[in-house]
Structure 1
Amino acid sequence: MSRLFTEDHEWIDVDGETATVGITDYAQGQLGDVVFVELPEFGREVTKGGEAAVVESVKAASDVYAPVSGTITESNPALTDDPALVNTAPEAEGWFFKLTLADASELDGLMDKTAYDAFVAGL
């Protein structure tokens, strides 16, 4: 499984045709304490760069964008009961949704960990 990152601070773990998506530790740090998460429904089609979910914190509401196009296969039910998981485990148990990839070539424009860390360091 490989993890890739977007300039909008989403991460994506790809395993075959399935991908898990969440926001990075940097993103949750910028948001502050997360109080609510709106997750995409099963079967919804998302497009690369399009709005897929919403995260609300004490500071602001922010969209979570789809790093690639695909069909939502699962949303993280734990976030409904405990949205603070986004703060405590943003790159693990705090994942947002899973999808089936529509076009694996869309992964080509994403950053690996080294490139993402350099990107964040330049912000």
Structure 2
Amino acid sequence: MSDYVEIIENDGSLDVMFYIDRDEIMAIGEELAAINANAYMNGYNWQALLDCYITKFAPGLAFAFEADSEADMFAAYFEKSEEGARNAMTLVNIIKSLIEDKQKLFRFVSEYGDEVDWD
């Protein structure tokens, strides 16, 4: 997939792993903090940002997974099923679209940053 996001298949789940400790992602996090002082982009804040983004632009995905973030990673767990696989890929595509189009991400934080439940 990429070096910063992947889907891992486990016995009972499909896990989307977003590794925020990669240099490229850390640099984006620094730029986000310059836009919004609350946007210290650890795993919990990436989760908060993605929750807000999904609520606004992909609401059908909002209740399709359980998230469990750490300081250096965002993880989302989907049911292992055909629908779960589609939803996991949708989340991967959302993450990739925001990372690969930084201006889109920066506009989102500029416009909706006050609505994000930052850590």
User: What's the TM-score bracket when you normalise by the shorter of the two chains?
Assistant: 0.3 to 0.5
Higher relative contact order (CA 8 A, sep 6+): 2
TM-score by length of 1: 0.34
| Length-normalised TM-score, structure 2 | 0.35
Q: Which has the higher strand share?
A: 1
| Greater fraction of residues in helix | 2
